[in-house]
Structure formats: structure tokens, C-alpha cells
Structure 1
């Protein structure tokens, strides 16, 4: 039973990232619990329920370059009809800046809370733990001058800088490997939720 649940959860999470990257918005919404008040997605650009995340993703999808999430579910913690899945995630984004292309690579972990609803696993939350990132020119693009880069956290500074260029205020307290306390707090909340009846 546990192996079947892990396979189902793996399929759900890989599909959730794929449909988001390919602009399949109905399928993205269907991956999450039907009650938006049960959901919370906290990313660099969104902190709210799934409906807001879907509409925000649609807007970003039309203005940003190609973004691909490579997600690898690595650890499954299952307690009855509840589960927490911890994944490696590697994001590649090809972004046009000042007439040149740049490659943004972000390494992070994604934590999902999942729950059975009408005998199917649905996602409740999505929260990242940032590890490190890199922004590199695609030849013949010049090295980019990034004003204010030093004001962003070490674990997600290039990604935050890019997001800020779109006029989005980036939170400075997101969980990241450069702040062990923020990671432990997030993991602790997930453990408490999983073990609460």
C-alpha cells in the first residue's frame, strides 16, 4: 500500500510541475484540493491559495522566457490519508534581457503537503527551500551588470534579482540553505501537520 501511494504521489508532483511549465492551467488547478482555502503556495512571487497561484502563473507565463522544472521526489512521509513529499528541484530558465539571452539555474527543494480527497491524492501546499542559483550569459551576450544584487540572500540572489526586475517585491525571509533556522522551522511545521490527527 505504501509503495502504491508513493507511485501515485510521485506521478502527481511530476505532473503538477509539467502542466505548470506547459501552461495547462485547468490540469494545474486539478492537481490541488478543490477547496482553495485548504491550499497555500509560497514562492518568491506568490504567497496565497492555489487559485491566485494559477492566475499569477498565467500572467508570468506570457511575459517570461521558457522555464523548465526538473523535479525529483526523494522522500515520502505518509500517515494515513496525509503525506509530505520532499523533492529535489532544478529550474532552468532562458530569459531575454536587453536584447540578449541569459540562463538562470536555480537549485532548491520543494515540500508538498498532500491529502486524500475522494480516494485521490491532492496537493495542499507547495513551499521551497532555496539552495543556490546562477545567472550566466548565453554567448554572445555580455556579462550582466546587476545593480542591488548584494541586497538579496545568498541562496536565491540571482533568482530574486530577476523576479524583482518585473516589479515584484521579493521576501527576504524565504527558507534557504543560508539560514538553517528557516529550514528547520519549515520542516518542523510539516512534521507537526503530518502527525496531527
Structure 2
């Protein structure tokens, strides 16, 4: 089934990223792919290399996945994958867990050999939290620092920025519903648009 093939492609990309299987991860992407996330915008190949370098610095996140939804029209597929990005962090000597809830949208296309590959990833951020991992400990974070970031990804942005990964204020998030709805329209238009060559 094509839907199962597409779903497995998306899950394989996430698994290989978390496990450090970078050759397998790279094989998931089309040559002209694009990845747009808080800390990175660029091609799939560049994303794999930057992920490798990030892990080499000890900056490793894991992804807790929910079942994906797959829409297929011909040789195109659109997938939405709800997930939680999980980091174990240390803030001023206190160990904590950062959990960022989002849903990633994947465009995929089937090539002339019948192989599905990822053409684009775009993330929509929902909310995030910090929680100390040990009882009777307290995180000391200046609320004004967090207030400078969007509520849909403020903890993630705060942490990534302090690690040296600049995060902008213009990413898709549920705190800006009109932009999110426009994203859904654009993705569905891409999925269903005619690919018949002009006469």
C-alpha cells in the first residue's frame, strides 16, 4: 500500500535521526528537498549534516511520535506527524526535561522507480514546557527572558539560543492561527495541483 510506504518513510527519517543512522536518514530525502525548523532551514542533505554535527557537540534531542496521517494524490503525498521533541538539559546546575509539542508536515513524492522520498518538512509548534527531573528542585530562569519568545515554542527557542543555534520569531505556531491555516491551504494546494504540462 502506498500510504504505508509513505508512513514508513517518514517514521524511518525520524528514527534514523534519533539513532544516528545518518546514511539511512540521507536516503529519505529527495535531492531538491527543503527542511524548515526552528534551528535550521536548508536542503535535506544539509539537514542531515547539521544534525550529525549537532550530535557531535552533545546536543541530542529525541522525538516521541504519534501516528501519522497520510494523504495521497497520484505521485504526491502529504503527511502530518504529531510529535514531542524531548531534551534533557541543565539550567544553572539544575537538571530538567524540555518537552516541545509540535506537528511536522512532510511533502513526499514518488520517483520514476516508484520510490517515495521527502521533498519538504515544515514544523508547526504548539507549546512547550520545562520540568525539573528531581523532586524538591527548582529551575531558576528569568521570566523576562522567556517572555521575549513566542508562546508556541519559547522554551525550545530559549534553550537553542543559549546553545548557539539562533532561532527566529517567525516560525509557524498555534499562537498565530491565521498563518497556520494558510500553511494547511498551501500544502493541500500543492498536493492536489495539476501536474499536466502546459500545451
- Give the structure-2-normalised TM-score: 0.90
User: Equivalents in 2 of 1:75, 1:105: separation in Å?
Assistant: 22
Match for residue 9 of structure 2?
12
User: Equivalents in 2 of 1:67, 1:134: separation in Å?
Assistant: 15
Counterpart of 2:66 in 1: which secondary structure? strand
Structure 1 runs, 4 residues or longer, greater than 3 Å off: 96-100
**Are the equivalent residues in 2 in contact too, given 1:28–1:54 (CA < 8 A)?**
yes
Query: Deviation of residue 144 (structure 1)?
Result: 2.8
Match for residue 55 of structure 1?
49
User: Equivalents in 1 of 2:14, 2:179: separation in Å?
Assistant: 24
Count of aligned pairs: 191
User: Equivalents in 2 of 1:62, 1:97: separation in Å?
Assistant: 21
Indicate the RMSD between aligned Cα atoms, in angstroms: 1.6
Q: Which has the larger radius of gyration?
A: 2
Match for residue 194 of structure 1?
191
Match for residue 152 of structure 2?
155
User: Equivalents in 2 of 1:101, 1:69: separation in Å?
Assistant: 19
**Are the equivalent residues in 2 in contact too, given 1:174–1:182 (CA < 8 A)?**
no
**Are the equivalent residues in 1 in contact too, given 2:77–2:109 (CA < 8 A)?**
yes
> 1:130 pairs with 125, 129, 153, which one?
125
- Give the structure-1-normalised TM-score: 0.90
User: Equivalents in 2 of 1:107, 1:153: separation in Å?
Assistant: 14
Query: Deviation of residue 106 (structure 1)?
Result: 0.9
> 1:75 pairs with 69, 86, 91, which one?
69
Structure 1: which 5+ runs fail to align? none
